[in-house]
Structures are given as structure tokens and as C-alpha cells.
Structure 1
Amino acid sequence: MPPKSAHHALQLEHERERDATQGFEPKGTFGFIRYLEHGFPSSLVRWHYHDEYELHLTLESSGKVFVGDYIGQFAPGHLVLTGPRVPHNWVSIDTPEEGVELRDMVIQFAHAPLETLAGVIPEVKSILPLLHRALHGIEFFNISAQAHERFMRIRDSTGLPRFIEFLTLLGELARSSDYQLLSTIPMQSTDDDAALARISSAINFIVQNYASQFSMKELAQQLDMPERMFSRFFRSATGNSFTDFVNRLRVNKACELLMETERYVTNICYDAGFNNVANFNRRFLELKGMTPKAFRQQAQGRFGA
């Protein structure tokens, strides 16, 4: 059956959960911009979403990052902007037994004040395209050291000086051309808790069992839904067909194995959950624009191997 653990379910982050003991600034001590920092493990590390934009900078550890329907890897210096209600999570996989004291620096802010400001101050309009792209999640490159300095100034300031630092940082990100969009669709969660629970259960099952052989019909039965209804429901919630979602998840795993191991491509095909090499090669080419072999060669060159 699909997992039902609350730890794995997609959760709306409520204001009442944002207490100072977790690293949030205490309520009443901040204005439009809220700063947060925390270590790992932490109760804040979970698959969740909220109504604010979130600018997230990783300082220590590496692992898996999940933004919308994107699954990738992160390391120190990883800088991502997520839009309102875009589900996300960072899960470290290489931390020492005692954990990490400070892993993340986070800035959260709302949309409406910036939109209003852009309506009366033309200079602010330049950040609106950035905010629109954030509905996909944006990973920025070669700007993390500069952003880290801004984060610290924002953390250590209040009032107008903080707001000026914040706008300056957004302006720098808006001008950056060295970025990639993460989620293939501008994925935003809804207020329907029952629907969230169902789609979260389905996605979690797929993520945890990608290497196994299962069908849409079997998963629909586990969720007590007719197959055709489940197909429409899944596409509406994720922007992808069931088959496309599973294939993309498996190709993502294959990319990881191609970069991190020397296993034969044929073996990686089965490790990633494909049961046919020809189909694996075809799906990989569709999604990555190159063969698995070419991907490995490019990856080796990128990392200086």
C-alpha cells in the first residue's frame, strides 16, 4: 500500500508552527521579510509548501532536493527560489551522526506587497519576471557567495536597511542569466486536503518504489479510484501523465548512477526500474536529448574526470 506516514505526506506550513525554537524569527520582530535558519535533522525538513516565496541557501551537507516534480542533487552553495505553494524539500544524506548545526539560511516573503509596489514604482517591475519563474522553482549558479553576504546582512538588519538589502538581492537574481528552472510545470498545491493526501500518497509510493514494476491500475486500486479517474486526477495534480512521471523519475535515477558509478549502462537500466533496454534508451533520449553513454561522457568532462 502507499505509505501513509505524516512525515512523508505533503504538508501546508501553518503560521502557528513557525516558532523561534525552530529557527524562525519570533512573531512581531520582523516585517515583510522573514528570516529562518536551521540545521539537520530538523522537523522543518519535510515535503511541504506555504503561501510565501522562499529563497533557500544551503551551507553544509549534500543530498536530494525535491521541488515540484523535480528531483535533483544539492551541495553547499545550492541556491533556490520557490514560489507560493510550490512543494519542496531538501534531504541530506551525508551528515555526521551528531547532525549539522546550521545547514540552511532561508528568506520568506509574500507576493502582494511586491506586486503593489511594482504598480507604483517602475524600477520594481524588473523583478516580476523572476517571481513568475519561481513558480517552477529556480536554481541559481555562480552567485551563492554573493547571496550569502546578502543573507547575513538581511539577518542582521531590520526596517528599511533590511528591505533595501532584500530588494538588492532580488535585483541581482533577476539580472542573473545563469540559472535553471526546476519543476517542468508551475506546480502549486491546492487547498483540498483530501486531494492533497491522495496525490501525496501516490507520489510518495512512486518515489519509494520507482525500481519496482507496478502499474497505474494497481496504484489506482490502492487509492480506491477507478483507473480513468486516477489518470485524470494525477495529470491535473502534477501536470504529467502517470507514465511520464514514472519515466522521468527513473531517468533521473539513471543520471545519478551514470554520474556516480561505473556500472554498465545495461545494469543501470534495470537498477533505475526499466525492464527493457531499448525503452530505457528511447526515454532517456527524449528527456535528456542524448544517449545514456553520451550523458556519462559529458558528466565526466563536467566534473574533471
Structure 2
Amino acid sequence: MKLHFIDRTSSATNSLSVTQNSHPHFLKFWHFHPELELVLIVKSTGTRFVGDSIEKFNEGELVLLGKNLPHMWINDPSYYKGSTDLKAEAIAVHFKKEFLGIQFFETPEMKAIAHLISRASLGIVFPDISKALKKKIKGLIKLNDFDKVVSLLQILQELAKNSNSRILSSNGFVKPFNNNDSQDLKKIYEYIFKNFNKPISSNKVAEVANMNPSAFSRFFTKIHRKSFTRYLNEIRVGYACKMLIEGEQKIISICYESGFRNVSNFNRQFKLIRGITPNEFAKIYDDTTELE
């Protein structure tokens, strides 16, 4: 599926934009842009594509997307029938991380929002936000420029405190680096992302982190709430998803390039992590391309 870059710089007159979209259906447009995007689904249902995440979406859900994260919303088939009176409605807010200055979100007062923006690099879904927050997001469209900025900061602060949220895309699709990570974690991440498509042992990563193997295992599991092997397989599957979406290589080549040593284990781990096989995953994107 072809990925499109959207450049808003030529038409932008403000540091953030708020748009209210109401159409018979959302555009089937797989795209990315340097702005973060906050999307409230007001009406309609369908399938949401964010990075390598493919899930159903419903009215009322809120999604925060990091910069350059590919995404697309496709409505259910009933929305594309000419005689239907169904509507797809959404509120979309676009802003760059540095829209208030390069160091604004590095201040102590903005720590919670900075962490939220970092998490958004993989996409975050808030499936059940309060009516008051929905009203505040819808109200952005009517505010003057100054009040929009103030209200957006309030919204982001509330989302940063929201415990009912979930990361969408996988670590392998978008490489996460956080300036607040410890030096030990940075060493671990750098080694994993440089070598994930080669044979990697937890003992070797422990050596890189200057830990003994048992201490490394406890440390890694505490931080990620999963074993190192599971995390590594998620990285590899995420990378495989990226190549499957691009559709330029055969699955057997993708298997080895993403770090798996045989196709059967690749298929098994892919289904365990994504819930479908590599073939089924690729077919979803092929079918989507045919609809464009």
C-alpha cells in the first residue's frame, strides 16, 4: 500500500489547527505527517490502521498519534453505498511538538505531557473518555487562537493522567527513544535495534548492559512487564509488519530479514503477537489498496 506524506506548511497560518470533518465516509488514505494528531471519533464505525495496528473503531474513542506515524481510518462497507445516509464525523487537532518552542515541554511543569507525547510515537487510544472531556475537545473549534492553546494544554494534561489508555503500534514498527531513559536502557535499546535481525541472546544483552544474566532478566521484566524474548520477538514482528505493508518483498525474505531463523517460527510468533498470520496481515492491506 502506498504511503503518502502530507505537508501542511504551505497552508498553515497557526501553530495548531482544529478541523471538524463530516463526510459520508473517511478517506481511504494511508499517510503520515510531522504534526502530532489528536482525533475524536464523533460518529461512525470501521477499522483503524495505526502503524502495524489494525483494530475496529467506534464512536467516542480518542486517539493521539505521534509525528510521522502512518495512519488511516476506513469505515465499514455500509458507509460506501451511495444510497446510505450514514455520516463519518471527527474532530482532528494537529500540532507540532515544538509549537510553543523547542524547550517548552522540557520544563518541569510539562513533564506529564512530555511523557504523553513520547508514548504517542506508537499511537495511543483512549477508548472511554468522559463527556466533559469530549465536550472540551469539540469546543476547540469555536475558540480564539489563544484559548485554543490553553484548552489543548488542559486536554493533554488530562490525557496524561488517564489510566484507561493503550499503546497501539509495536516497538518494531517505530523505534522508541526517550531522553528520560536511563543509560542502561539506552545501551540495551541501541544494541537491540542495531542487532534485532541477527541472532541475539539475553546473555549478550546483559553483557552490553554490564549486568549478570539473572539481574538483567529481573531488570528487563520489571521495566517492560514481559520477558526479553517476548520483547525481541515483538520488535521483529513489528519490523516484519512494516515490510509487509510496503509489499516489496516476499514473506520468506521478510522472515529472515526481520531476524527469524525459519518460516514456521516466524508464522507462529507473528500470529501469537498480532493475532493473524503474515499472509492474512498482508492481505488486509492489499484489499485496502484495491478500495482506493
Q: Would you call these one fold, judging by a TM-score over 0.5?
A: yes
Q: Does residue 186 of structure 2 align to residue 203 of structure 1?
A: no
Residue type at the aligned position of 1:143: I
Q: How far has the Cα of 1:41 moved from its partner?
A: 5.0
2:148 aligned residue: 162
For residues 69 and 266 of structure 2, what CA distance do their matches in structure 1 show?
20
Say which SS state the counterpart of residue 171 (structure 1) adopts: helix
Q: Does residue 15 of structure 2 align to residue 10 of structure 1?
A: no
| 1:22-44 superposed Cα distances (whole Å, 9 cap, x missing partner) | xxxx643xx22211232345674
1:283 aligned residue: none
Say which SS state the counterpart of residue 112 (structure 1) adopts: coil
Q: How far has the Cα of 1:48 moved from its partner?
A: 1.0
For residues 72 and 44 of structure 1, what CA distance do their matches in structure 2 show?
17
2:139 aligned residue: 153
Q: How far has the Cα of 1:166 moved from its partner?
A: 0.5
Alignment of 1:79-90 (within 5 A): 79-90=62-73
Do the aligned residues in 2 keep the contact of 1:135 with 1:187 (CA within 8 Å)? no
| 1:118-142 superposed Cα distances (whole Å, 9 cap, x missing partner) | 34x4322221110111011111132
Residue type at the aligned position of 2:4: Q
Aligned residues: 206
For residues 23 and 168 of structure 2, what CA distance do their matches in structure 1 show?
23
1:55 aligned residue: 38
Q: How far has the Cα of 1:148 moved from its partner?
A: 2.2
Q: How far has the Cα of 1:247 moved from its partner?
A: 5.8
Q: Does residue 108 of structure 2 align to residue 125 of structure 1?
A: no
Residue type at the aligned position of 1:116: Q
Do the aligned residues in 1 keep the contact of 2:34 with 2:67 (CA within 8 Å)? yes
For residues 177 and 34 of structure 1, what CA distance do their matches in structure 2 show?
27
Do the aligned residues in 1 keep the contact of 2:31 with 2:70 (CA within 8 Å)? yes
Residue type at the aligned position of 2:244: A
For residues 167 and 41 of structure 2, what CA distance do their matches in structure 1 show?
18
Cα RMSD, aligned residues only: 3.5
Do the aligned residues in 2 keep the contact of 1:53 with 1:83 (CA within 8 Å)? yes
Alignment of 1:133-144 (within 5 A): 133-143=119-129
Do the aligned residues in 2 keep the contact of 1:78 with 1:144 (CA within 8 Å)? no
Change (3 A) 1:43 1:72: closer
Do the aligned residues in 2 keep the contact of 1:55 with 1:81 (CA within 8 Å)? yes
Q: How far has the Cα of 1:101 moved from its partner?
A: 4.4
2:276 aligned residue: 251
Change (3 A) 1:110 1:100: farther
For residues 146 and 186 of structure 1, what CA distance do their matches in structure 2 show?
35
Say which SS state the counterpart of residue 251 (structure 1) adopts: coil
Q: How far has the Cα of 1:174 moved from its partner?
A: 0.4
Change (3 A) 1:201 1:232: closer
Residue type at the aligned position of 1:13: I
For residues 232 and 15 of structure 1, what CA distance do their matches in structure 2 show?
38
Q: How far has the Cα of 1:188 moved from its partner?
A: 4.1
Residue type at the aligned position of 2:103: T
Say which SS state the counterpart of residue 99 (structure 2) adopts: helix
1:179 aligned residue: 165
2:90 aligned residue: 104
Say which SS state the counterpart of residue 15 (structure 1) adopts: coil
Ranges in structure 1 where 5+ consecutive residues have no aligned partner: 1-7, 19-25, 190-198, 207-215, 221-226, 236-240, 254-271, 274-305
Do the aligned residues in 2 keep the contact of 1:136 with 1:186 (CA within 8 Å)? no
For residues 3 and 242 of structure 2, what CA distance do their matches in structure 1 show?
6
Do the aligned residues in 2 keep the contact of 1:37 with 1:102 (CA within 8 Å)? no
Q: How far has the Cα of 1:144 moved from its partner?
A: 5.2
Normalising by structure 1, what TM-score? 0.57
Normalising by structure 2, what TM-score? 0.59
For residues 201 and 43 of structure 1, what CA distance do their matches in structure 2 show?
25
Change (3 A) 1:249 1:187: closer
For residues 49 and 99 of structure 1, what CA distance do their matches in structure 2 show?
30
